[in-house]
């Protein structure tokens, strides 16, 4: 028997896995990597993470903590200093007052979101998810027994969820409204006015809001991030804000995320962690604490570099015949319309990779088969060369 193969035992997989599909993002990235390893000159716009190294001070803290033997279990919900630092961060950035009981540190923001749905969803509870959406949201809701309900947004409307459409999607079973601003994959940013109208719906219908703000420091054109929780005490009490160190400080592999919200709910999130993962890595927690101490200038520097890349990516893509890029105001992706090619997003991406050695991610996994996602967490040189290749490939591929 070859290692890794499955003997024919007909093992029955639990029913709750039936709705869960593999992550297409990871599949395509793996293929691009394999091609690169074979020596093919692949340029990848697939990355879902900043391309910078982790800040030096953060790495040094890892070495210090390791040498000091900080390698044992910590409190499940996170070391007290980190939970306090997260509270200070919310206060400084958004004027949001939380205390440590409102905060749980988890193994990445993905884990924070997963835990929240596990704690909040009963079978059949509906979660409103504006589409296009981040790939993992529907699967997380399914795994919690909940039912994702997609609320369409459109490129011509800035990919912003329209209050009328949200209201129409609310049923007696609706429990949660999920927000992600700045958005992965569209880069759309909800402004204060948009958020106020959404908050009114949450309050009027007695919903809860889960707000994924992982891209909070990636905003362009001088925009500043607004959290829906910062709009008033009432909406804050019904909102769970999720963020983390991955995107903000180039720490994706270190797995630190956190959520803040109602203390009773967060206590249950902590209990769920008690019986599943226990604490996130002790060393990573110390690293995240160090990251939160970095001067604001670090974020400004990163934002400046990404602003230039965004401008370049969007400008070059908009000149390619047959592509319709959406100008993102945040995050580090350009969501690009491909309807004129007549290809599905899977076929578009597979052919682009095989024929032009350029990797982008099919929009289908984000809920739109008429788009593909470009990540501009890439060098300006790769952005220029990659889009030049796409332009030539499009010329050959699109007839008439």
Ligand X SMILES: *Cc1c(COP(=O)(O)O)cnc(C)c1O
User: Which residues of this chain interact with ligand X, rule CB under 6 A?
Assistant: 48, 108-110, 134, 180, 184, 212, 214, 244, 246-247, 252, 257
As measured in angstroms, the least distance from the Cβ of 17 to ligand X is: 20
As measured in angstroms, the least distance from the Cβ of 253 to ligand X is: 9
The residue whose Cβ lies closest to ligand X is 108
* Dihedrals phi, psi of 332, to nearest 5 degrees: -130, 50
Query: Are 282 and 359 in contact, with CB atoms under 8 Å apart?
Result: no
As measured in angstroms, the least distance from the Cβ of 292 to ligand X is: 14
Query: Are 30 and 24 in contact, with CB atoms under 8 Å apart?
Result: no
As measured in angstroms, the least distance from the Cβ of 77 to ligand X is: 16
As measured in angstroms, the least distance from the Cβ of 79 to ligand X is: 18
**In terms of CB distance, is 258 or 357 closer to ligand X?**
258
Q: What is the spatial distance between Cα 132 and Cα 364, in angstroms, rounded to a whole number?
A: 9
**In terms of CB distance, is 55 or 320 closer to ligand X?**
55
As measured in angstroms, the least distance from the Cβ of 258 to ligand X is: 9
335 Cβ contact partners less than 8 Å away, ≥ 6 residues apart: 132, 155, 159, 185, 186, 187, 325, 326, 328, 363, 366, 368, 371, 372, 373, 374
As measured in angstroms, the least distance from the Cβ of 184 to ligand X is: 4
Q: What is the DSSP string of 258-311?
A: EEE--HHHHHHHHHHHHTTT-S--HHHHHHHHHHHTS-HHHHHHHHHHHHHHHH
107 Cβ contact partners less than 8 Å away, ≥ 6 residues apart: 255, 256, 257, 277, 280, 281
Q: What is the spatial distance between Cα 130 and Cα 146, in angstroms, rounded to a whole number?
A: 16
Q: What is the spatial distance between Cα 24 and Cα 361, in angstroms, rounded to a whole number?
A: 8
What is each CA distance from 351 to 133, 235, 313, 341, in whole angstroms?
24, 46, 21, 12
**In terms of CB distance, is 48 or 138 closer to ligand X?**
48
**In terms of CB distance, is 212 or 369 closer to ligand X?**
212
**In terms of CB distance, is 129 or 383 closer to ligand X?**
129
* CB neighbourhood size of 122 (10 A): 10
**In terms of CB distance, is 303 or 351 closer to ligand X?**
303
**In terms of CB distance, is 108 or 148 closer to ligand X?**
108
């Amino acid at each position: 028997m070859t290692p890794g193969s499955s003997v024919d035992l007909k093992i029955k997989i639990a029913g709750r896995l039936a709705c869960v599909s593999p992550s297409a993002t990871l599949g395509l990235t793996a293929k691009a990597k394999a091609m690169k390893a074979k020596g093919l000159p692949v340029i990848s716009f697939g990355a879902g993470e900043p391309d910078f190294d982790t800040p030096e001070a953060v790495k040094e803290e890892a070495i210090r903590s390791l040498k000091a033997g900080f390698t044992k279990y910590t409190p499940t919900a996170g070391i007290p200093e980190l939970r306090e630092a997260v509270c200070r961060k919310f206060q400084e950035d958004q004027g949001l007052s939380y205390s440590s009981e409102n905060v749980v540190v988890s193994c990445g923001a993905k884990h924070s979101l997963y835990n929240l749905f596990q704690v909040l969803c009963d079978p059949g509870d509906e979660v409103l998810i504006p589409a296009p959406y981040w790939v993992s949201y529907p699967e997380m809701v399914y795994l919690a027994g909940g039912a994702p309900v997609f609320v369409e947004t459109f490129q011509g409307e800035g990919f912003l969820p329209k209050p009328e459409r949200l209201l129409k999607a609310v049923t007696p079973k609706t429990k949660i409204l999920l927000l992600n601003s700045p958005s992965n994959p569209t880069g759309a940013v909800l402004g204060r006015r948009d958020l106020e109208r959404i908050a009114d719906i949450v309050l009027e219908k007695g919903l809860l809001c889960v707000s994924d703000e992982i891209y909070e420091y990636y905003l362009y054109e001088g925009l500043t991030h607004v959290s829906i929780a910062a709009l008033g005490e009432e909406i804050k009490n019904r909102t769970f804000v999720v963020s983390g160190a991955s995107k903000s400080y180039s720490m994706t592999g270190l797995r630190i995320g956190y959520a803040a919200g109602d203390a009773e709910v967060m206590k249950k999130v902590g209990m769920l962690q008690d019986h599943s993962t226990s604490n996130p890595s002790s060393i990573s927690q110390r690293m995240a604490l160090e990251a939160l101490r970095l001067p604001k200038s670090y974020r400004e520097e990163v934002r400046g570099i990404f602003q230039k890349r965004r401008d370049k990516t969007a400008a070059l893509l908009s000149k390619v015949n047959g592509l319709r890029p959406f100008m993102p105001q945040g995050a580090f992706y350009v969501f690009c319309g491909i309807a004129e090619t007549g290809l599905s997003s899977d076929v578009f991406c597979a052919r682009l990779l095989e024929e032009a050695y350029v990797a982008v991610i099919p929009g289908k996994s984000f809920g739109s088969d008429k788009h593909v996602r470009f990540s501009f967490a890439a060098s300006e040189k790769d952005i220029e060369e990659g889009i030049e290749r796409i332009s030539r490939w499009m010329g050959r591929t699109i007839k008439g």
